[in-house]
Amino acid sequence: MAILNSNQISVYVHGLDHAEGIAWGMDGYIYAGSEAGQVYRIDPSKPEAKVFANTGGFLLGLALDSSHNIYACDPGHAVVQKITREGRVRTYSSGAPNEPFILPNYPVFDRQGNLYVADSGRWKEDNGKIYKIHPDGENEVWCRELTEFPNGLCLNADGTCLYVAMSLNPPRVSKIAIRSDGSAGAVETVVEMPRTVPDGLAFDTDGNLYISCYRPDAVYRYTTEGELQVLAEDYEGTLIAAPTNIAFCGKNRDMLLSANLGRWHLTHYHLDAIGIPLNYPNLHWGERNV
């Protein structure tokens, strides 16, 4: 049984082209990216999906810095794009030396300005990996253990672990310890999720983990007590339709929203929870390229 009833789930904004990525910016806007490269900026005071940039590629996960630049995974071009607030687009990273991205899927910043990128690899070929782009522009393959289509990422509240939605073999959420020197530590399974395709992740301030799934049309909550709950589901696939990425949005981080790859809207889940603060680093090295 779902925790939220149908009255607690609503369409937040219409008019997006099968969006997958969603993120909250320090400038007070919601950002989303769509299947033909559109980048949307949405004002919460008057929700309306407005395109302000286009990469010409299929956009997946998004992250932002303190200057409101967007870092968007663009698997069509096999790069992470950097998109300025004015809409200029340049390549931020194409992967590590001699190991280019295959399918960059989701980015997340840590407190030091490192950008972790899940490269999912090819479906069912088990050739995924986690990259790390340092603030000075150095690129490396950071973790090679999670190969089975690593997807959405998030850090825990204290930044000591990177959580990874693993879409395949078996579907699950894993975590990678971040050692004091910044290297990848032990890899553990957090929770297995049979007959699902986990895609997006987000933590609330109570330590609960939210997991959106490309299949089925559902969002789960993994509690601090170790219980996996169905937070919201839609067997018709209309209000919730292949919810890929999720994000806590709003100035108080109290609006849980999902993108819906199967539809044209963002979905709002009305619950009593606040998302943990994300990291919005001050980066300069890439500005010469934008």
**Domain membership flag for residue 231:** yes
**Whether the predicted pLDDT of 289 surpasses 90:** no
Q: Which pLDDT value is given to residue 90?
A: 97
CB 273 within 8 A of CB 208: yes
Residue 1 inside a domain? The answer is no
Residue 285: band (very low, low, confident or very high) from pLDDT cuts 50, 70, 90: low
Domain that includes residue 61, residue range: 6-289
The enclosing domain of 89 has a CATH number of 2.120.10.30
Instruction: Please tell me the distance from the alpha carbon of residue 241 to that of residue 149, in angstroms, as a whole number.
Output: 21
Instruction: Look at residue 195 and tell me if it is in a domain.
Output: yes
pLDDT digits (tens, 9 = 90+) for 135-185: 999 999 999 999 999 999 999 999 999 999 999 999 999 999 999 999 999
Determine the pLDDT at residue 1: 65
Q: What percent of the chain clears pLDDT 90, i.e. is strictly above it?
A: 96
- Summarize pLDDT for 4-30 with one digit per residue, the tens: 998 999 999 999 999 999 999 999 999
- Of 229, 255, 192, 240, which Cα lies nearest the Cα of 2? 229
| DSSP 3-state of 285 | helix
- Beta carbons of 17 and 38 less than 8 angstroms apart: yes
- Quote the number of domains for the chain: 1
Find the mean pLDDT for residues 62-74: 98
Tens digit of each residue's pLDDT (9 = 90 or more) over 233-257: 999 999 999 999 999 999 999 999 9
Q: Is residue 117 part of a domain?
A: yes
Is 129 part of any domain?
A: yes
What would the mean pLDDT of 26-50 be, rounded to a whole number?
96
* Residue 30 counted as domain residue: yes
Tell me if 153 is assigned to some domain. yes
259 part of a folded domain? yes
Which of these, 216, 145, 226, lies nearest to 192 by C-alpha position?
226
Cα distance between residue 14 and residue 287, in whole Å: 33
Predicted model pTM: 0.96
Under 8 Å between Cβ of 269 and 9: yes
